[in-house]
A and B are shown apart, each in its own frame.
Chain A
Amino acid sequence: MIILKTKILNKNDIGKLIIELSEDYNFYAPLKNENGILIFDKVFNIKDVILDYFNSKFPPKEILFPRTEELFKFKTDGKNIIEIINQPRTDIKNIIFGIRGCDAHAFNLMEKFFKSGNFQDDLFLIKKQNSILIGIGCNLPKSTCFCTSVGGDPFNKNYTDIFLSDLGDKYLFEIISDAGKKLLDKIEWLVDAKESDIKNAENLAKKSRTLFKQTLDLKDINTILDNQFNNTLWNSLTNNCIGCGNCAFICPTCTCFDVIDEFYPSKNIGRRIRVWDSCQFDIYTLHASGHNPRNNKIPRFRNRILHKFLYYPLNYGFLGCVGCGRCIQICPANNDLRNTLQALKLDKINKEKMEVKK
């Protein structure tokens, strides 16, 4: 990886940086909301920003892919539509400051997904294009983290524009992309980094990689999951699942949505919106006839796993998971994605051994 420039940001200067960059950008950073939950939100008070965190409870996904997003508005004469008002905002510019490598990776997956096929989702793509991601390395991964198992890294700079490494009282401030380089023009006061700073950051990354509690070998996961559709193992794997859909709700790569019309009769104005949806819900696949191809939690659970670890590789050539571990952390039934994958893998290996014995 080519680092375009290497600077130093003193922790005392974070406020200055935020104030200066907030002039032209919506400046998002990790902070605690009124319920004490760590999320990404617009910064109104510099003191709120928290950068020594494991990871945010909710991924920053909703900045570019909101829970509820307007597709267009329409006017009616009381009965019939008169006009469609299609004015998506193209001028909003964001900085997402302090984003983890896994979440930046997730934005990259979403971008590839929304670009794929004959229909490009410009509503998402324009926002992604207008956003600058300032990533931060993880000195200490959480016990649920497994990014290194899915092609990530605690110091994954690949999908960011600028990357920070926490060196104690300062950050190493590495410029990764051209967009990041342009941003640097606005904060010329940053001083150059020393060779020792770069060395220190490298050591932090090396150390962090050794701190993962659990790593999986998922290199051949799509071969392992191929032909597993009818495996009875899914029944026991799904035992605990209560179908709450939390795993999808906090997933940084989940993109499925529902489309709903809203109408205000008093104003004769309405809008069509999309809202987050989850494959764990009955109504997600329920036909108008009453038939439901995934009519219980087993096929729904299976679809979630296969979508991310088999269908994604088949359709796009990469996994649909970035290893952030949020689904493991939030699951009220203690289901652990790592154990699920491990169980499927072991089952396949055992069956192959049996075949050989026969």
Chain B
Amino acid sequence: MISTENLKISNIYVPMLAIIKSITSENKVNDIKSFELVFKNENDFKRFKYIPGQFAEISLFGVGECPIGIASSPTEEGSLLFTIKKMGYVTTEIHNCEVGDTLGIRGPLGNGWPIEHMKNKNVIVIGGGFAFSTLRSLVNYIIDEKNRKFFKKVLVIYGNRDPGEVLYKETIKKWKMRDDIEVILTIDKPYEGWNEKVGFVAPVVKEVAPSPDNAICVVCGPPIMIKTTIAVLEELHFSDDQILNSLEMRMKCGIGKCGRCNIGNKYVCIDGPVFSLAELKKLPNEY
């Protein structure tokens, strides 16, 4: 006989409930929105201890779940921010939600940016287009007054197709007003009224030529931008250990059980999404 009395089991597939506090349209096309979420149950904030670079499974009940990077920094207490592009079935339905609606959050998931490893180093953050959410989290974390002293110089290079696509305009404005962080914005083609750089991210990085000395470089963006930027960084003598990347993959469970997000023997959901270029070079080219 097996005793089943007092058997309490934890169900890792059950999300926490959160209410949409605000919705911000992030671009002109209006297919990218940021959702500010507040947990329904106050205690869930304590359960949800995260670091920049982690993600969560966002649920719309009756529709489904999808993995979304956390755009807020743990230093921004009281709410969580998720920037979601209208892409598939679930994200389209989430885009139809209004302030006050309830979503599910399961997380935090994934490894996140290696914060401890980045301390006492110059941090170079390079982003392209929509893949900027966990970079926003990272930068806000670093420049928080409690954390800023642990990091050396911070340089942000952020490229977009046109000015209308630049995410987090208000946040970036605040960054630009500070003297302890350098922010360089660029767009692909000249645009009336645009006073910042013009050109793809890779040539801008080449022009700025950050030094690899005691530096760590974080690169996020579309595949072609990553490829060209990494080539430039290698020219600038950055080693594979100094270049970090965050990958995306189709996921269901987010906890290494459902199987689909593997690259070789690594699961993007639990072993990633952050990998150094050195780690990626050891994995098969299947992502």
Q: Which A residues fall within an 8 A CB radius of B?
A: 24, 71-72, 74, 76, 79-81, 84, 86, 88, 90-91, 93, 113-114, 116-123, 125-126, 129-130, 132, 179, 182-183, 229-230, 255-263, 270, 272, 274, 277, 279, 284-289, 293-294, 299, 303, 306-307, 310-311, 314-315
CA distance A123 to B7 in the complex (A): 12
How many residue pairs link A and B with beta carbons under 8 A? The number is 143
CA distance A299 to B285 in the complex (A): 11
Beta-carbon nearest neighbor of B17 in chain A: A81
Q: Report the minimal beta-carbon distance from B49 to chain A, rounded to whole angstroms.
A: 13
Q: Which B residues fall within an 8 A CB radius of A?
A: 1-2, 4, 7, 9-15, 17, 59, 61-66, 87-88, 91, 101-102, 104, 248-250, 252-253, 255-265, 270, 284, 286-287
CA distance A122 to B13 in the complex (A): 10
Q: Report the minimal beta-carbon distance from A222 to chain B, rounded to whole angstroms.
A: 10
Contact A284 B260, beta carbon cutoff 8 Å? yes
CA distance A259 to B252 in the complex (A): 6
Contact A93 B4, beta carbon cutoff 8 Å? yes
Contact B9 A122, beta carbon cutoff 8 Å? yes
Given the known inter-chain contacts A118-B270, A229-B284, please indicate yes or no for A277 contacting B4, CB distance below 8 A: no
Q: Report the minimal beta-carbon distance from B112 to chain A, rounded to whole angstroms.
A: 13
CA distance A310 to B284 in the complex (A): 13
CA distance A71 to B255 in the complex (A): 14
CA distance A352 to B12 in the complex (A): 47
Contact B13 A310, beta carbon cutoff 8 Å? no
Q: Report the minimal beta-carbon distance from B35 to chain A, rounded to whole angstroms.
A: 14
A114, A123, A285, A303: the one contacting B9 at CB < 8 Å is A123
B contact patch SS: loop
Contact A285 B250, beta carbon cutoff 8 Å? yes
Contact B249 A293, beta carbon cutoff 8 Å? yes
Contact B87 A289, beta carbon cutoff 8 Å? yes
Contact B250 A287, beta carbon cutoff 8 Å? yes
Contact partners of A113 in chain B: CB under 8 A: 257
Beta-carbon nearest neighbor of B57 in chain A: A259
Beta-carbon nearest neighbor of A179 in chain B: B2
Contact B259 A256, beta carbon cutoff 8 Å? yes
Contact partners of B259 in chain A: CB under 8 A: 255-257, 277, 279
Contact B15 A84, beta carbon cutoff 8 Å? yes
Beta-carbon nearest neighbor of B283 in chain A: A229
Contact B258 A288, beta carbon cutoff 8 Å? no
